[in-house]
Structure 1
């Protein structure tokens, strides 16, 4: 899975949210000040070249839509992060969160439940 730039991710988040749209529809989703039309259009064309976005032509206009789901992209990025920064070790990931104290007790309980379910599946 290809890694997107921040600008590309912003456009993808918009497309995942609206489903499909023209450049003007994408720009409408940005907060003020809105980016220039040509800048957004250039980034969308790059996403098309990367096979992340598809389009349907209506004369000279193009309606764009995501070819990759948000879930698939997120999963790929998380897998890459765990592989590249945590030696592909879930133990190191959990250790990071436990040391940085970013998990509250409710989240820890949920993680423990999920791990117990996973353990049952592996043994079952």
Structure 2
């Protein structure tokens, strides 16, 4: 797959539903979205954009299409966090963790969990 582009907020919302559902029809996706529900054409357009970007594929059922994630949530998470680390923290995980600690985005319980993960990965 070529260079993956980041998702817009609307695209990400649709992808979150597709990942959760492991694929679905436009009407099923709309049913899962919060109110006020977007128009069918709006969701359909966003999905076609996601297809063009390489995030989504489809199966045809007559005139209907069932849309499937082409990239997993885990794959996207790796790409997006890699870009975050590179673009905002000079590829320094220490710098990123320090930022989250200073901003109080990580609490003591989570910090203990991080320490346990580090200790497990030292072996």
The alignment's TM-score, normalised by the length of structure 1, stands at 0.90
Q: Provide structure 1 residue ranges, at least 5 long, that are not aligned to the other structure.
A: none
Provide the residue aligned with 2:53 in structure 1: 50
| 1:24-71, Cα deviation, whole Å (9 max, x unpaired) | 111111122210111110000011111110100111111101011111
After TM superposition, the structure 1 = structure 2 runs for residues 22-41 of structure 1, keeping only pairs within 5 Å, are 22-41=25-44
CA RMSD across the alignment: 1.2
Greater Cα radius of gyration, structure 1 or 2: 1
Moved over 4 A (4+): none
1:104 positional shift: 2.1
Paired positions, count? 120
C-alpha distance in structure 2 between counterparts of 1:117 and 1:40, whole Å: 43
The alignment's TM-score, normalised by the length of structure 2, stands at 0.90
Q: Is residue 88 from structure 1 mapped to residue 91 from structure 2 by the alignment?
A: yes
SS in 1 for 2:58: strand
1:112 positional shift: 1.4
